[in-house]
Amino acid sequence: MRIVVADDHMLLRAGLVELLGQVGFDVVGQAGNADDMLAIVRAERPDLVLLDIRMPPTHSLEGLVAAGVIRAQFGSAIGVILLSHYVETRYLDELLRDGADGVGYLLKDRIGQVSELADAIDRVGNGGSAIDPLVIQQLLGRPALADPLAMLTEREREVLAAMAEGRSNQSISNALHISEKTVESCTSRIFVKLGIDQTPEHHRRVKAVLAFLRASPA
């Protein structure tokens, strides 16, 4: 998989590039700001971009804006994983407004866990999603503004939270120590309770995840 890395912290960027190379990814470009990153993306057409939310010149939302540009120009053909030092759930709705295909949101202090990072890159690069489990935990702990999930049982909420991380049914089964058949039953009930119509399975999962993420306040 061909990857572009963008982060203004040179040492972190170099370490990330080295790490990605060690696990078999091909880093085709790196940048310290959003403008340079976008130029590289347009020239190289990578499979995925890893970029910091906060970059020069203002260190506010340059990365998020750049992610929006990539999504607008290339859709889910180029995966985007945003990196952040903090759990900032208020950015999720903006990031996911056009769908969760090819989108990830990870915390920087967890990207050193090589297997988890590689798994997230694989999922997002292949059109799936990857939301950091700590972000999901924070969303679960907050009261909803207008809770479309109130009808879900505790087990169904656990399954939906795992879906929001980008996990497959088998991965959810392993994580929650339940059978894959139970996962399938829970997902079916989730779709019914959330009023998600009979679209293809992948799109139903995306709609359910968006409902979950958007049910929490910024």
Single out the residue of 62, 29, 31 nearest to residue 46, CA to CA: 29
Indicate the pTM of the whole model.
0.68
Query: Which of 144 and 208 is assigned the larger pLDDT?
Result: 208
- pLDDT tens, residue by residue, 112-158: 778 888 988 998 998 888 888 777 766 655 554 445 677 788 899 89
Domains of the chain: 2-131 (3.40.50.2300), 138-213 (1.10.10.10)
Q: Where are any strands of DSSP class E within 89-142? A: 103-107, 129-131
- pLDDT tens, residue by residue, 4-37: 999 999 988 998 999 999 899 999 999 999 999 9
Model pLDDT, residue 218? 43
Burial class (CB in 10 A: 0-12, 13-18, 19+), 166: buried
Single out the residue of 130, 122, 133, 66 nearest to residue 94, CA to CA: 66
| Average pLDDT taken over every residue of the chain | 83
Model pLDDT, residue 182? 94
Average pLDDT on 165-188 reads 91
3-state SS class at 141:
coil
Model pLDDT, residue 145? 44
User: Does residue 67 have a pLDDT over 80?
Assistant: yes
Backbone angles phi, psi at 100, to 5 degrees: -100, 0
